[in-house]
Chains A and B, each alone.
Chain A
Amino acid sequence: MGLITFFLLVLFAITSFYLGYFRSNRVRVIEKQRPFSLDKYYGYYLAIWSVVPAVIILFAILIFDGFIVKNYVLSEFYSQGIDQSEISLLFTQIENTRNGIKLFNSEDEIIVNAVNKLNYIEGIFEITSIITVFSVSSLFLLYGYRKINLNFDARLIVEKFILIGFFLCSLIAILVTVGIIFSLLYETVRFFSQVPILDFLFGTNWSPQRAFVRDAADAADIENAFGAVPLFSGTFLIAFIAMCVSIPVGLLTAIYMSEYAKSSVRNTAKPIIEILAGIPTVVYGFFAVITIAPFIRSLGGSIGLDVSSESALAAGLVMGIMIIPFVSSLSDDVISSVPQSLREGSYAMGATKSETIKKVIIPAALPGIIGSFLLAVSRAIGETMIVVMAAGLVANLTANPLEASTTITTQIVVILIGDQEFDSPKTMSAFALGLTLFVMTLILNFIALRVVKKYTEKYE
């Protein structure tokens, strides 16, 4: 029914629009006076009345019809007292048969009957829903049409509907965020019912595949398998290396771009730097594995160091390169927004350019610059692809950047790749890790935004 209903609705809306439009036109001619609003607003007004209730009803039908259909088809089985799980299985079989998939029992009489019943009720549902929707719409349309007269201000009402539309859109973003949190929270709580939260946060041994061997491992062993400290340390180690690259390079780039570069240089160089941010992270991963890692390995070898082929250093360096544009363009913005009068004040005291930058501009822009660092850190912590490809998969509690180490994001990927049973603690641990990550970046972003906000207030 979807496509037809949709087209009918659009048609209905257009018709209503012109109804309103011409109605208002006629009022103008009869009364020889201008109505409150422009003609088109009366059109919009009627279009809203004809479509909005219809859409609401359609949504309600969409949500409830599956439930009602299922209950109707299965009603006789319920009365026969068949077990709940068996009924669900039966319903799946009925649906599959209806969709043309041959099953072992597709020829059974009860199934064939049920399929007929299903087709019948769905057909009725389709017709009745279309009739209901359009009769309700017509009623509303009539109501709206009768309200149009000289002193009726359709513009204000259209304005209100537009406001509601905007509000609903922003609500969607918020609801999705809340939804993500709750879905994570639900699985995480289930996980922590099997593994104590303290063992997760402070345990130093991460080997979730061990928890798979249910019979061999006793409960204590399961608990020992989910110590996330090696993941935290790996995450922070790699993020730290990345920041060591991106902070100095990014900040100095920003200073050069905002203070020294001529506008011609700036206009070419800035977009090129920002391309760095547009390169897919998989490509960075390639670069880390194929170019940087062997290079570090041979460099380390030449001075007698044993470098593993997957190292935190390689991943961190490449991640740092990826983050440079975040630091540089945000810092560039805050440095450029330092008022020109401060620069002039400093030059007028006989300070050179670099003295001015060091002693006046950087201190004045510092909160904003720190804000950009924090945003970059949260980006580094959440980065996945580069570390999956270049940092290694083994949870290894080490502070040595030359060894392989793993991160929270990598482990989530490793755990969730392939087929999973969704009640094993191994799978659920991914959600706990996800929530931990979410909370960490949330806190960092929160601090960053506060710091940046404090800065912007200062000069206004």
Chain B
Amino acid sequence: MENKVKVCVENLNVHYGEKQALFDVCMDINQNEITALIGPSGCGKSTFLRCLNRMNDVIDICKVEGSIKIDGQNIYDKDIQVEKLRERVGMVFQKPNPFPKSIFENVAYGPRIHGLAKDKTELEEIVHTSLKKAAIFDEVKDRLDETGTSLSGGQQQRLCIARAISVNPDVILMDEPCSALDPIATAKIEALMEDLKKEYTIIIVTHSMQQAARVSKKTGFFHLGNLIEVNDTETIFSTPANDKTLDYVTGRFG
């Protein structure tokens, strides 16, 4: 059974100044699934990811053409407010980047900005649920006012996930979330993603093909700015249609 399409990308071209980073990318991403993006370094997968919440807007020389529709609405339309978009499309970064504030304040940051809680109890409620969903609540419940940076790397990354889901987004983008973590912390995050996909649509960029194979339902393979192939993860890793994909997943290049 196919889930319904959440994100629909059509003819996406991205330029950084003179250099073109993405060429005519078309891709459908299904709701409540984990979609993995793989490919060698510099192939455009992170650029693609950052287009989905318009993080590329920050970079002056970056030009985006084409359309990205989330629930049928083009997020590059003029009347889209980028802050509201990012409330719906959360992001977890490669390196854990908790704010130098308390654990509580880290998670309360988003709800405060968007006015999601009417009073203090409601805010606490949101913070606690987010921490619980990110499977870190039990580890930090007694020290919510310690600074977020005092946690271990894996805990920091889960704190960042809690921060991302605190505003209850539809889509969560993950940019190599485990590349700075050890295997145990990685396993915890992967288990967490498995839980989170029930509520959210997750798109993950990863360098680890094993990780893509373990967690994702669908996998897209990028090479030199082109989306070479996107299909069910099993197909990609066993019988891909394209030779380049086969070379990459079997470790012959990249």
Per-residue CB contact flags for chain B residues 143-163 toward chain A (1 = under 8 Å, else 0) read: 000000100000000001001
Q: How far is the CA of A374 from the CA of B84 in the complex (A)?
A: 40
Closest to A360 in B: B99
Q: A458 is contacted by which of B85, B91, B100, B163 (Cβ under 8 Å)?
A: B100
Is residue B220 within 8 Å, beta carbon to beta carbon, of the partner chain? no
Contact present for B87 and A350 (CB under 8 Å): yes
Contacts of B60 in A (CB 8 A): 262
Which A residue's beta carbon lies closest to that of B92? A348
- Which A344-367 residues sit within 8 Å CB-CB of chain B? 344-352, 355, 359-360, 363-364
Do the beta carbons of B97 and A351 come within 8 Å of each other? Answer: no
Interface residues on A, range: 20 to 34
Query: Interface size on B (CB < 8 Å)?
Result: 27
Of the listed residues A262, A344, A348, the one surrounded by the most CB atoms of chain B closer than 10 A to its CB is: A348
Find out whether the CB atom of B109 lies under 8 angstroms from the CB atom of A349.
yes
Which residues of chain A are within 8 angstroms of B87 by Cβ–Cβ distance? 349-350
B93, B100, B149, B167: the one within 8 Å of A350 (CB): B167
Task: Kindly provide the distance from the CB of A293 to the nearest chain B CB, expressed in whole angstroms.
Answer: 45
Residues of A within 8 A of B95 (CB): 341
| Contact (Cβ within 8 A) A349 B101 | no
Measured in the bound complex, the distance between the Cα atoms of B164 and A351 in whole Å is: 12
> Could you tell me if B167 and A348 are in contact, using CB atoms closer than 8 angstroms?
no
B184 at the interface (CB under 8 A from A): no
Q: Which residues of B contact A364 (CB under 8 A)?
A: 99-100
Are A350 and B55 closer than 8 Å at their CB atoms?
no
Q: Is the CB of B58 within 8 A of A355?
A: no
Inter-chain CA distance A348–B114, complex, in Å, is 13
**Any chain A CB within 8 A of the CB of B86?**
yes
The answer to whether A359 and B86 have CB atoms under 8 Å apart is no
Q: Are A349 and B113 in contact (CB under 8 A)?
A: yes
The complex places the Cα of A422 from the Cα of B101 at a distance, in Å, of 58
Which residue of chain B has the shortest Cβ distance to A364 in the bound complex? B100
Binding site for B on A (CB under 8 A): 262, 339, 341-352, 355, 359-360, 363-364, 458
Q: Which residues of B contact A (CB under 8 A)?
A: 53, 55, 58, 60, 83-87, 90-91, 93, 95, 97-101, 109-110, 113-114, 149, 160, 163-164, 167
8 sample A-B contacts, Cβ–Cβ < 8 Å, listed by A number: A344-B58, A345-B160, A346-B109, A348-B93, A349-B113, A350-B83, A350-B85, A363-B100
